[in-house]
Structures are given as C-alpha cells and as structure tokens.
Amino acid sequence: MAEHTGLNLTLRVWRQENRHAQGRFETYEVKNISTEASFLEMMDILNEQLINEGKQPVAFDHDCREGICGMCSLFINGRAHGPDDDITTCQLHMRKFHDGQTITIEPWRSGGFPIIRDLMVDRSAYDKIMQAGGFVSVSTGGVPDANAIPIPKADADEAMDAAACIGCGACAATCKNGSAMLFVSAKVSQLALLPQGRAEAAKRAKAMVAKMDELGFGNCTNTGACELECPKSVSIAHIARLNREFLKANIKD
C-alpha cells in the first residue's frame, strides 16, 4: 500500500464575485491533507472549512470526478488540470504535491470562457460550435444496418482517438491565442474519417470554423500547447486534417 502522508499547504485561490467584478487572490491554509486524497477532495475540505468559518465556499465546476464528463477545469500552478499528464483535475491526486507547498489555483482564462464566479467559467461557446455542425444529419430511424458499411479498423481507431475529447476547454485555455482549434478539429476529424460523416464533411468544417471565429476564439499558430495539456491526448494531427477539410471546402466554392 502507498504511504499516507499528511500535507500542510498554502492555497492561493482566485476569488471573483461575478463576471464583471474585480477578482483577486485569497490565501488559505489547509492542514493534514492525505496524499491519497484527490485534488478536488482537498478543495472539498477547504470549502467545509470556509463554511464552518461562516465564509463563502469557493465555486468550482466538477461532476463525475472520474475524468470523463469534462466539467472540471482549473489552472493549478500554471498548468491546465495541474501538474500531471493525461488527466483531468478531478483525477489529480495530492501525492503530486509536497508538504509546505504553495498551490496557486486559477480559473480557465480565455476570451471564449467568461468567468461566472471564482473558478467557474462559462463554456457554452463549445456547445454553440457543436450546434453549428458537430453532427451527422441523421434523424432517428430509417438508417442502414450497422454492419452495412465496413470501416477499416485504423480509421475507426483514429476516429475514436479524436472522439475521446471531453470538451473541457483546456486546449483553448492553454493556447496563447485562445484558439479552440483542437476542440473543433477533434469533431471535424472524427466525422471526416468515417463514411457516415463524409457527406457533410465540407459543410461541417466551414460551419464550425465560422462559429468558432464568431465567438471570439483566436487563430491557431501551431504552438502545440493544446495537445500537451489535453487530458485525453487529442493530437494536433487532427488540426491538420481540419485545415485540409476547410481548404478543400473553400476550393470547392
């Protein structure tokens, strides 16, 4: 069994009443945090402490706490989803920190994601991009047998790599340009790789990119930061595919 150790930590947490209010860092101390606890369990302990002191708990988004719903976020010591690779904040454990450490906790900071309160941001822009074209236009019923169209395993696997995106927003939040290209490309690429999605591939690429631009996300300059911080390791190769689809669509016009 792993050793349980109690950590005493100093937390610098971003507090902000609402979108328009002035934000600031507040400093809190938490004591005897088990290294076996998850990062968000540590946040629960902080909030319990604040409630008992009659203070406002820190607002942060989270739900499944197993790394799949995409609801948790946070910049922890300057990194999206904290100091570990290929995980979400809810999967981060306190064994990644040491006793006496100061941890700085901030919300996603990106033009596309306005702050709601404290560490909670509004990511509805991602939904709007999906509504613009992140689907295959089929209605329920009247579809062919699932095995009617064989799909090479390699294509299906690559489509799955892209489809693993959880829509958390780490890519845009990490990007110095605030670009949502990794998110958009994941969906465009998944559906472009599958015969079911080919029919609308051009239209989809154009519609989703247009919506992304309209919502104020920045341009991609291929820094690759998004790929590094993506908790699901979605590759920037999908951005290349998106660019191809987008170019093809515009040449056709």
Residues 126-145 within binding reach of another protein (CB under 8 A): 126-127, 130-141, 143-145
Provide the minimum distance between the beta carbon of 145 and another protein in the complex, in angstroms, as a whole number: 6
Contacting residue, 11, 119, 123, 184, with another protein by CB under 8 A? 123
- Please provide the DSSP assignment of 115-154 as one string: EEETTEE--HHHHHHHHHH-S----SS----TTSS---HH
Asked whether position 70 contacts another protein by CB under 8 A, the answer is yes
Going by the DSSP 8-state scheme, the letter that residue 191 receives in this structure is H
As a whole number of angstroms, the distance between CA 222 and CA 213 comes to 17
Contacting residue, 11, 16, 62, 119, with another protein by CB under 8 A? 62
As a whole number of angstroms, the distance between CA 146 and CA 192 comes to 18
Asked whether position 166 contacts another protein by CB under 8 A, the answer is yes
**Burial label, 5 (beta-carbon count in 10 A; 0-12, 13-18, 19+):** middle
Asked whether position 8 contacts another protein by CB under 8 A, the answer is no
As a whole number of angstroms, the distance between CA 244 and CA 188 comes to 11
- Please provide the DSSP assignment of 37-83 as one string: SBHHHHHHHHHHHHHHTT-PPPP----SSSS-S-----EETTEET-S
Please identify, using beta-carbon distances, which residue of 10 and 56 lies nearer to another protein. 56
Provide the minimum distance between the beta carbon of 176 and another protein in the complex, in angstroms, as a whole number: 25
Provide the minimum distance between the beta carbon of 221 and another protein in the complex, in angstroms, as a whole number: 28
Please identify, using beta-carbon distances, which residue of 120 and 181 lies nearer to another protein. 120
Asked whether position 153 contacts another protein by CB under 8 A, the answer is yes
Contacting residue, 51, 210, 240, 247, with another protein by CB under 8 A? 51
Contacting residue, 15, 28, 38, 177, with another protein by CB under 8 A? 38
Asked whether position 76 contacts another protein by CB under 8 A, the answer is no
How many Cβ atoms sit within 10 Å of the Cβ of residue 242?
26
Contacting residue, 24, 147, 176, 253, with another protein by CB under 8 A? 147
Instruction: Determine contact, residues 192/237, Cβ cutoff 8 Å.
Output: no
Asked whether position 103 contacts another protein by CB under 8 A, the answer is no
Of 206-225, which residues contact another protein (CB under 8 A)? none
Instruction: Determine contact, residues 179/219, Cβ cutoff 8 Å.
Output: yes
